[in-house]
Amino acid sequence: MSAVATPVSPMLVRLAAEKATGALLRDHGTLYLVDGRVVHAESPAAPGVDVLLTTGGRLPREGWDEAVDRAGAHRAVGRFLVDSGRLHDGELEICHLGAVFDAAFFALSPTSGPTRFRYGVGHWFGTVRPVSAEAVERETVRRRELLDAVWPYASVDTAPVVPRPAAPGQSVGVRQRALLAAADGRRTPAELARLLGRPAFHTLLDVRRLAAAGLVRTPLEPEPEPESVPPAPALFPAPPVTDPDIALLRRLRDALEAHL
């Protein structure tokens, strides 16, 4: 796994080398492996395949429920959806891969909790297209870097999304307009992803882009702790020093508000 200098999950690397089969349990989700390759992933932070298919309108909820009832015990829900004519092979593969990478991104997020592996455990959805652990780690790192490049303040990822008025002439894309329309000031990005039937990572990315554009309210930063011992007086007053990025963003925000 040379593509990732520092493994996101050393245990995942080891299990891949062992060609292990089972479930890798972490604080924020679970990865399912067969012969060392990732075949499924789930996380409370990410909508599952069922939400992506049913909320997105591709599959009626009754069709999903029937597939689970008839094929879940055989770990062949995905295969049933194709064999019964509800989905084409390509549709299922694309949707499932998207859900796997989405859930894996959150499952592999930094954690201080224990990481465990239960050998032999499988998932009722079944295997669609196995993905190498290296590909999962590489994509997780790429997504982290992309989020930070767009807006390097992760506080917006878990805070309620509160829309702000657009500046005169400021345009918003179709996907982002739908997200802003669903944002009621109480729903978090994860809740909006489920409501809209979208992958959670792409919803986070849209929220960070909106934050960078000043179109959603960003959480307040904590006030700095007061110094216990005051500094010695200087002979000449020193100019105030602030983080240039934060200062620039605040000026931009104030300028926008002044023209609303």
Q: Is the pLDDT of residue 215 over 70?
A: yes
Tell me what pLDDT residue 5 has: 62
Confidence band of 2 (pLDDT split at 50, 70, 90): very low
Confidence band of 38 (pLDDT split at 50, 70, 90): very high
Question: Please, are residues 193 and 199 in contact by the beta-carbon 8 Å criterion?
Answer: yes
DSSP 224-251: PPPPSSPPPPPSSPPPP---HHHHHHHH
pLDDT in tens, 67-78: 999 999 999 999
- Judged by DSSP in three states, 118 sits in strand
Q: CA-to-CA distance for 211 and 199, rounded, in angstroms?
A: 19
Q: CA-to-CA distance for 238 and 37, rounded, in angstroms?
A: 58
Lowest mean pLDDT among 85-99, 106-120, 121-135, 227-241: 227-241
Which is more confident, 57 or 77?
77
Tell me what pLDDT residue 227 has: 54
- Judged by DSSP in three states, 144 sits in helix
Tell me what pLDDT residue 239 has: 44
pTM: 0.80
Tell me what pLDDT residue 249 has: 55
Pairing status of strand 131-132 against strand 37-42: antiparallel
> How many residues comprise the chain?
260
pLDDT in tens, 126-141: 999 999 999 999 999 9
